[in-house]
Amino acid sequence: MGQAIGQVLPLALGVALSPVPIIAVVLMLVTARARVNGPAFLVGWLVGLGIVGAIVLLLADPAGATSGGKPATWVDVAKLVLGALCLLLALTQWRGRPRGEDDPATPKWMGAIDSFGPGKAFGAGAVLGGANPKNLLLAVAAATTIAGAGLDGGDEALAYLVFAVIGTIGVAAPVAIYLTMGARAGAVLERLKAWMARNNAVIMAVLLLVIGAKLVGEAISGFSA
């Protein structure tokens, strides 16, 4: 199991460094329902990641994710496809980065965050955690990697749980800052939001480039084994 966790650790860090969800959490933490909405978002985030992992693991085991003690060929093919998609997204993010003094674009739905209740905060967390393209690719890649490690069901679930928890660190950090820093939290969170918004595209491009190259490399190694 340790080897599987080691393989998915970079993918988990890629999920954790998610600028748009981190910005969304920060915006929730300046509303009147911050103490409820922040945790609700975190729970939704974990549920979203968990649903993706459960679906992939449930489909992968009957499909024979291992062969002769090694990942099956289809696992390497999946890694190759997912890696190529990550590289394509990296290129898209890089080309769409703000130029010069251009203001970074933010999703229109963020303007409604101040009206969110716990239910909407939970739903936003679930969607951003499991359904946004970057996280979906990385979660599928992580679950596929774990399925190909030849673990039993309990160890697969535990390895994916470790992936999901590490992937939650990024959105959990603003909530922890809010709950522990008191009056000082506002200025810290504002600086974090501004930096994330300004560097979103570059962060995403670099992450996706590195992770895409990793997945493609693992696939090539698997084909040649």
- As given in the structure block, the two tokens for residue 130 are 């499991």
pLDDT more than 90, % of the chain: 54
pTM comes to 0.87
| Between residues 114 and 55, the one the model is more confident about | 55
Q: How far apart are CA 205 and CA 217, in angstroms?
A: 18
Position 105 scores a pLDDT of 67
User: What are the Cα distances from residue 223, in Å, to 4, 5, 74, 216, 220?
Assistant: 18, 21, 10, 11, 5
The number of domains in the chain is 1
pLDDT more than 70, % of the chain: 93
Position 68 scores a pLDDT of 59
67 has which bridge partners? 70
Structural domain including 144 reads 2-224
Position 84 scores a pLDDT of 94
For residue 127, name the pLDDT band (cuts at 50, 70, 90).
very high
Across the range 94-119, mean pLDDT stands at 80
Whether the pLDDT of residue 136 is over 90: the answer is yes
Q: How far apart are CA 168 and CA 53, in angstroms?
A: 14
* Contact in structure between 215 and 110 (CB atoms under 8 Å): no
**Residue 35: phi, psi to the nearest 5?**
-65, -20
Exposed e or buried b for every residue in 148-177, given b needs 16+ CB within 10 A? bbbbeeeebbebbebbbebbbebbbbbbeb
Residue range 7-29, pLDDT digits in tens: 999 999 999 998 899 999 999 99
